[in-house]
Amino acid sequence: MTNIFLSYARGDDVQRNDPATSWVQRLARDLTAAKFDVWFDRLSLPSRGLTFHQEIRDAIAACDRLLLVVGPQAASSEYVQQEWQFAWFEAEKVITPILRQGDYPLAIPELALLHAEDFRDDSQYAVHLKELIRILNDPPSTLGKLIGVPSLPAHFLSRTDRLIPLRDAVRSGLDTAAPFGGTAARQQFHGIAGTSKQVGVHGMGGIGKSVLANLLAHDREIRKAFPDGIVWVGLGSVPILADLMRRVHKDLGGDGAFATEHEGKLKLKELLADKALLLIIDDAWRREDVDAFDVLGPRCRALITTRDAGLLTSLGGTHHVVELLTDAEALRLLAVAADKPLAELPAEAHQVLQHCGRLPLAVALAGGLVVAGTPWASLQKAFERHKLEFLENEQSAEPQHRNLWKTIEISVQALPDEEQTRLVELAVFPEDEAVPEAAIATLWEQTGNLDDLDTQQLLIKLKRRSLIQVTASGTADSSSIGRVSMHDLITITASVAPSRCMSKSRRWTTSC
């Protein structure tokens, strides 16, 4: 017997000809009569001393499918979103949407690849119920195994507008179905190197590249597209490539019996020649590290995440940039991470968000500290006073949260000493202010003997490393790259760095 979890919003649950009657209850009754075991909260929610949230998670985990009743209220409900996201990304359940009210797939665009029976016309209820029963009786598709893929963080945003074009790009050319997201998405996001085998994701440390890649790995449509598995390889700044290659070879059924990277590359190529597999290369720093995994067969794809846009450019083609959260997204993530209703966030929460700069990792860290017992006011003061050691919470649930500041410092330390010095010197400019390139050139001419061309080339490199942000100058001067700013957290890290160059640059700005 197939177990069905009914997910819906009560605002959508009405019969048009009898508003006092539950439409979802009618559906639950008819599915039960069709020999399905239906979990319906109004009938199935026992009291076992657990929180409502845990009760729902347990119920979804115990079911075979989640049946999502789509309507305007369901689309905007955080509870409904948590239900289908848990089923989709974590519990690995089949989701079957049906449309009760509104439009589809606009209501929940993440699920647009899935067929939804249209139950909006009550006079056609019996016809669509018969088809729904047939769909629910179909065996689920085979899913590719997750190999080495990390679990998702406790708090994350699905960031639909980022995930949709990414999924479209990775699936491109695998089948004859129309690409997800339509023409606009195809123009926005293309495969690398013209073969569509490699897709790149670029952004600063802590902005959510790895989470986005992780969401894609857990996506059911991606797992159906790659039945031989989704393999995660975390490179980092100093990878031991031969060990990583041996691990992948063994995970895919090989023996890992090779001594050198060259031998490993040949063996992996042979192993992947006839497989349909997605290889996720996370946190790439150098082109040669990525090239070590240039082993894909014709039905394979690779997704590469990096802080260095230049690395992706060297591979050829365009790539996807992960940008900062919007104000609304940042506020919502903070509320979720702090386990507070959005309406109950205090004034200090908004001020903390300003210090976090809408960086997802920083926002999640701040919310976790509140859950751990840190008062909002104390958290705000910590940011204001640049007390970074206060924020390195050893009891943080997520390891990457404990390493937020180290993540930024690693990006800085990867630069040669002289370039680190120049970057740190940018902290002398006012915070939250985009600085003209000419002002930076004047500073660096005095402190580093750089001419205008040297300055521009270094700024371009820093931009590619996501250590600075560049906006158009708004002038007709084509020789200038624009105005330059640093993310607040990078500015804080630079301003407290125990570096001799900071005292030097501050002495220079004081005297000018």
Give the per-residue pLDDT at 387. 53
H or E element, residue 382: helix 376-384
| Superfamily of domain covering 3-137 | Toll/interleukin-1 receptor homology (TIR) domain (3.40.50.10140)
Asked if 111 and 105 touch (Cβ cutoff 8 Å), the reply is: yes
Distance CA 276, CA 31 (A): 36
pLDDT computed for residue 469 by the predictor: 75
Give residue 397's pLDDT. Answer: 44
Q: How many other CB atoms sit within 10 Å of the CB of residue 187?
A: 11
CA distance 508 to 512: 6
Instruction: Give, in degrees to the nearest 5, the angle at Cα 36 between 30 and 39.
Output: 85
Question: Which residue type occupies 483?
Answer: R
How many whole angstroms separate alpha carbon 446 and alpha carbon 153?
45
Report the helix count and the strand count for the chain, using DSSP H and E.
26, 14
Nearest to 163 by CA among 137, 189, 195, 187: 189
Q: Options 3.40.190.10, 1.20.1340.10, 3.40.50.970, 1.10.8.430; which CATH number does 327-406 get?
A: 1.10.8.430
Largest CA distance in the chain: 84
* Domain 146-321 coded CATH 2.30.110.10: no
Task: Give the bridge partners for 15, in sequence order.
Answer: 18
Cβ-proximal residues to 318 (8 Å cutoff; 6+ apart), any chain: 189, 190, 192
Residue 106, classified by CB atoms within 10 Å of its CB into exposed (0-12), middle (13-18) or buried (19+), is exposed
- Is the C-alpha dihedral spanning 396, 90, 235, 244 positive or negative? positive
pLDDT tens track, the chain, 512 positions:
789 999 999 888 865 555 557 899 999 999 999 999 999 887 666 555 555 577 888 899 999 999 999 998 888 887 888 899 888 888 888 999 999 988 876 567 667 768 899 999 999 999 999 999 999 999 888 889 999 988 777 677 777 778 888 988 898 877 643 333 333 333 233 333 334 578 999 988 888 899 899 999 988 889 989 999 999 999 988 899 999 999 999 999 999 999 999 999 999 999 999 999 999 999 999 999 999 999 999 999 999 999 888 898 888 656 888 888 889 889 988 988 888 888 889 999 998 888 887 888 888 878 877 877 889 988 888 777 655 554 555 444 444 444 466 556 666 777 889 998 999 899 888 765 778 999 999 999 999 999 999 999 999 888 877 788 776 655 545 566 778 887 666 776 666 554 444 443 433 333 33
- The residue extents of the domains of the chain are 3-137, 146-321, 327-406, 415-511
Q: Is the pTM of this model over 0.85?
A: no
Which among 319, 360, 335 has a CA at the least distance from the CA of 208?
A: 360
Q: What pLDDT does residue 247 have?
A: 95
Structure token pair of residue 34: 């069709």
CATH label, 415-511, candidates 1.20.120, 1.10.10, 3.30.2000, 3.10.110: 1.10.10
pLDDT on residue 47? 54
Q: Are 467 and 204 in contact (CB under 8 A)?
A: yes
